[in-house]
Amino acid sequence: MSLQIMTANRLLGGGVVYFGENEEWTDHFASAKAVEDNDGAAALLAEAEKAEANQLIVGPYLIKVERNEAGLQPLSVKEGIRAKGPTVHYGHGTPANSSGSVSSGLVKE
């Protein structure tokens, strides 16, 4: 089974969150708890269900990831952008995320 982590959006703010190694929901992709067996995935789903019932998160789902020497990496462009924010600057010069041009920093499926 592939390495997976649990992600969702916060109910109140809408921001992207991950279920973390410390058993808390975190904004940081790198701190996500990764599992690679069915039991681990079931445990993440149970945590997500609990957090939904407690109005913490909305729309949870599992995503496949990869671990390399730099840590966890998303496997799709979409999850890379979710993790880091828009790749374009906006508003009063809010900078683009570091994945910037094309998909550097993102590992592809």
Partner 1 sequence: MYRYDEFDYDFVQQRVAQFGDQVERRIEGDLTEDQFKPLRLMNGLYLQLHAYMLRVAIPYGTFNSVQMRKLAHIARKYDRGYGHFTTRQNIQYNWPVLKDVPAILKELAEVEMHAIQTSGNCIRNTTSDQYAGAAADEIEDPRVYCEIIRQWSSLHPEFTFLPRKFKVAVTGATTDRAAIRVHDIGLAIVKNDDGEVGFEVHVGGGQGRTPMIGKVVREFLPKEHLLSYLEAILRVYNQIGRRDNKYKARIKILVHETGIDEIRRLVEEEWNRIKDTALNLPLEEVDRINDYFAPPTFETLDATSRSFEVKRFEDRGFATWVRANVVAHKKPGYAIANISLKPEGEAPGDITDDQMEVVADLAEKYSFDEIRATHEQNLVLPHVKLDDLYDVFLGLQEAGLATGNLGLISDMIVCPGLDYCALANARSIPVAQAISKRFADIERQYDIGELKLKISGCINACGHHHVGHIGILGVDRKGEEYYQITLGGNANENAAIGKIIGPSFAYDKIVDAVETVVNTYLEIRDGAEESFLDAYNRVGMAPFKERLYA
Residues making contact with partner 1 (CB under 8 A): 9, 11-16, 52-55, 58-59, 75-78, 81-82, 85-88, 90-92, 94, 101-103, 108-109
Instruction: Pick between residue 40 and residue 96 the one whose CB is nearest to partner 1.
Output: 96
Give the nearest distance from C-beta 69 to partner 1 in angstroms: 21
Give the nearest distance from C-beta 31 to partner 1 in angstroms: 18
Give the nearest distance from C-beta 84 to partner 1 in angstroms: 10
Instruction: Pick between residue 40 and residue 82 the one whose CB is nearest to partner 1.
Output: 82
CA separation for the pair 95, 52 (Å, rounded): 32
DSSP conformation letters of 17-85: EEEBTTSSEES-GGGBPPB-SHHHHHHHHHHHHHHHHTTSEEEEEEEEEEEETTEEEESSHHHHHHHH-
Residues 6 or more apart from 102 whose CB is under 8 A from it? none
Instruction: Pick between residue 43 and residue 58 the one whose CB is nearest to partner 1.
Output: 58
